[in-house]
Amino acid sequence: MAKLMLVVLGALVAMAAAKQFEKCELVRELRKQGFPESEMRDWVCLVEKESGFRTDAIGKLNGDGSWDHGLFQVNDRYWCTRDGPAGLECNLSCAALRTDDITAAATCVKKIFARHGFGGWTAWKAHCQGAKPDISKC
């Protein structure tokens, strides 16, 4: 019984580990990670539309059989490994893109951005080219 309780408790702790950012909390974190102020509202919009601000988000199965991971919904066809050791373009396991510490994810998305700009993200193209979130109070 005690053992079962520990398992249940462990599961609850694991669930609680997933983080959902508040808007301004995300802005502060992105500033800390060195994202430029000129891109800030686009990143906040992108994160909101891609993952709902959740670090542990996994998207729907894509048409090509790939999945998207974490706050920035990074695709596992090119950027991270779904199974096995860290690899692909970001040299990361996709699980490393779903942690509450977003340092690795930030480095990875800067690489994606350098190559594709915001146009690399479907949700940004669909929702973030016009009105963007107000972060003037952050």
Of 86 and 95, nearer to ligand NAG (C-beta) is 86
Q: Is 135 in the site for ligand NAG (CB under 6 A)?
A: no
* 99 contacts 19 by C-beta, under 8 angstroms: no
Of 20 and 91, nearer to ligand NAG (C-beta) is 91
Q: Is 95 in the site for ligand NAG (CB under 6 A)?
A: no
3-class SS at 28? helix
Q: Provide the 8-state DSSP code for 18.
A: -
Q: Is 91 in the site for ligand NAG (CB under 6 A)?
A: yes
Of 61 and 78, nearer to ligand NAG (C-beta) is 78
Is residue 39 among the annotated active site residues?
A: no
Is residue 50 among the annotated active site residues?
A: yes
C-alpha 74, offset from chain centre: 7
* Distance separating alpha carbons of residues 138 and 129, to the nearest angstrom: 21
**Nearest residue to 87 via CA among 71, 108, 113, 117:** 108
Q: Is 86 in the site for ligand NAG (CB under 6 A)?
A: yes
Which positions are catalytic? 50, 68
Q: Which residues bind ligand NAG (CB under 6 A)?
A: 86, 91
